[in-house]
Amino acid sequence: DPILIVNGLTKNWRCPGFRCCWVVAPSPIVEKLNSAGSFLDGGTNAPLQRLALPLMDLDFIRRDAWALQRHFRKKRDFLLSELAWLGIQVKWKPTATFYVWGDLSDLPPPLNDSLVFLEECAKHKIIIVPGVFFDCNPRSVRHLEKSKCIAFCRFSYGPPM
């Protein structure tokens, strides 16, 4: 099957600047990627690859993953309780991301409009992403105000509290 699994230390291991990644794929695809990589940047050098080996230890990966999950679970639960206190509904409790999809429908107008809500949040140095930014609207056939996502926004609990 032409399935590719791409991973790397910069994102999943949270090692910014550690430009070491890999692909698991059928051999012909890996060969083509190797060829392209050699042409573009030569690939990751051997000393850097050796430095990465301890990060590949399964026990380290498990401990690190559990610590990260505990850290973000605490932040997620804090955000969920604060959103509930504000009257913002969350229908799906996230389990594998650091974003919450909030429903502003119960807020008084005009705060129930995610574009207005964004402006009000920005006044308090809070950034949210209005739901309309996630509404697929090919060829702009409907106005933002008519979007099914106008009363929704995305909150992140990734940044420091």
Out of 11-25, 65-79, 87-101, 134-148, least confident range: 134-148
Q: Can you give the length of the chain in residues?
A: 161
> Same domain, yes or no, for 131 and 93?
yes
Q: Has residue 131 been placed in a domain?
A: yes
> Same domain, yes or no, for 74 and 149?
yes
pLDDT tens column, 120-148:
999 999 999 999 999 887 667 667 667 88
Q: Has residue 61 been placed in a domain?
A: no
> Same domain, yes or no, for 50 and 128?
no
Q: Has residue 136 been placed in a domain?
A: yes
Q: Has residue 63 been placed in a domain?
A: no
Residue ranges making up the domain that contains 105: 70-156
> Same domain, yes or no, for 44 and 87?
no
pLDDT tens column, 37-71:
878 888 888 998 999 999 999 999 999 999 999 99
Domains held by the chain: number? 2
> Same domain, yes or no, for 151 and 85?
yes
> Same domain, yes or no, for 49 and 92?
no
Over residues 85-94, mean pLDDT: 97
Please tell me the distance from the alpha carbon of residue 135 to that of residue 137, in angstroms, as a whole number. Answer: 6
- CB–CB of 29/4 below 8 Å? yes
Over residues 96-111, mean pLDDT: 96
The DSSP annotation for 29-94 comes to HHHHHHHHHHHHT----HHHHHHHGGGG-HHHHHHHHHHHHHHHHHHHHHHHHHHHHHT-B-SS--
CATH code, domain carrying 122? 3.90.1150.10
